[in-house]
Amino acid sequence: MVRTHTLHAPLLLLLCSVAASHQSLALNVRSYPSSTTDSKTPVALSLARNVNATGSRNVLKLDQARAQAFRARARGPNQIPSNAAAFNDEATGRVVTYTVNVAVGNPPTSYNLLIDTGSSNTWVGAASLDLFHPSCQPTNDIVAVSYGSGSFIGLEKLCEVTLVEGLTIPEQSVGVAAISKGFNGVDGILGIGPVDLTQGTLVLESEKEVPTVTDNAQKLGLLTEYIVGISFEPLNQDNETNGELTFGGVNHSKFNGTLNYAPLTKVSPASKYVGIDQKITYGEGQPVMPSGSGILDTGTTLILLATDAFDKYKNYTGAQLDNDTGLLRITPEQYANLKSLQFTIGGVSYELTQNAQIWPRTLNAAMGGDPEGIYLIVNDLGQISGSGLDFINGMGFLERFYMVYDVGNSRAGLATTPFTYATTN
């Protein structure tokens, strides 16, 4: 999972020295209670959507680099390809990101963290160096994670973490970055994916897993259910608070259809993530992807399909590749004839409408496009189907459906929302 072989030796020595010095301080760190709340009511965190007006002309390349890292990470430690770092612009290069404010330490410091279902480490310090973080307890270990389009290395600490009032974890394992790349404008990541993804991220204990915030909240008895509900909405204005994470339950006001569950896929490498099996058709049942395994991912902007499925979609729509953006572009006449995509997951069909398939036109300039152009959010994953990672349903999909990651029952849930059929793009 981690490119530990690329870490600079002087930095490793420095961090090892700092970790060792912390060992002598461990007895001076206050002891933590087992829990700070008896509440088991689901708690919700508001998410802020941040629109980067100058954006990036590498939206597709960033997503493809992330997909490449997903495949590599599933093969084990030290497998992240060196060329993945060519687009180390995880936060600043993305046109739209979702963040949440998390309080770390006591007294607390507030951090603005990216939400990520495609990774599971929680870490801070991208915006400022604070290796010692005096209210946190040292673990005497070093943590390093590469995301394909960003990375960090630092010290692993045990800190009091408050996600929201009523949900405080006294001893959450948190990475405190010494060096990070690609995270300007944010302080780090709140990783809420499967805990298996943390294996290999601790440099000195590579076989050890790092419990996620969801895992620890469940262990402490703070959650009614071992699940996370996730709500996003399509773009309608800049820098608004319009998303939500719900720990321990779902927010029924955020969806209007039946919440249907599908088991997480058993097919690797999708099985390492919040992975599902699905088939995709276009229009009146024209096959795009007869079957495939892939993932639901909040850190991917587009919907990426295996190359053979993408080619079918391109042919059905008549779209042409736009060299300036890397996205497919269609004419107004082709848009008028654009048919819905049907995603069948767990035997239930989810419709991605005509409008849901296009890039928000108010953000065309932000990603280097023609302000009057019509671009599609479906693109090429960069590998043919049958690899075990045949698609990534990114934010283009998730902004139209309510999502639930049911950790305890190894399944994912989806439901339509008031925005499934919106025409805001």
Q: Could you list the pLDDT tens digit for every one of the 425 residues in the chain?
A: 333 334 444 455 445 544 444 443 332 332 333 444 445 778 899 888 877 655 567 889 889 999 999 998 877 654 444 443 333 334 444 667 889 999 999 999 999 999 999 999 999 998 877 666 778 999 999 999 988 778 999 999 999 999 998 899 999 999 999 999 888 788 999 999 999 999 999 999 999 999 999 999 999 999 999 999 999 998 765 446 678 999 999 999 999 989 999 999 999 999 999 999 999 999 999 999 999 999 999 999 999 999 999 999 999 999 999 999 999 999 999 999 999 999 999 999 999 999 999 999 988 988 889 999 999 999 999 999 999 999 999 999 999 999 999 999 999 999 999 999 999 99
Q: What is the CATH code for 4-16+41-228?
A: 2.40.70.10
405/228 Cα distance (integer angstroms): 5
pTM score, two decimals?
A: 0.88
Q: Find the radius of gyration of the CA atoms of the chain.
A: 21
Determine the pLDDT at residue 215.
Answer: 98
Q: Please state the domain extents for the chain.
A: 4-16+41-228, 254-416
Residues 242/49, Cβ–Cβ less than 8 Å? yes
Gap between the Cα atoms of 412 and 249, Å rounded: 13
Predicted pLDDT of residue 51? 72
Q: Give which of 269, 118, 254 is closest to 190, Cα–Cα.
A: 118
Angle made by CA atoms 46, 419, 362, in degrees to the nearest 5: 85
| Active-site annotation, residues | 116, 297
In words, the CATH class of domain 254-416 is mainly beta
Domains 4-16+41-228 and 254-416 alike in fold: yes
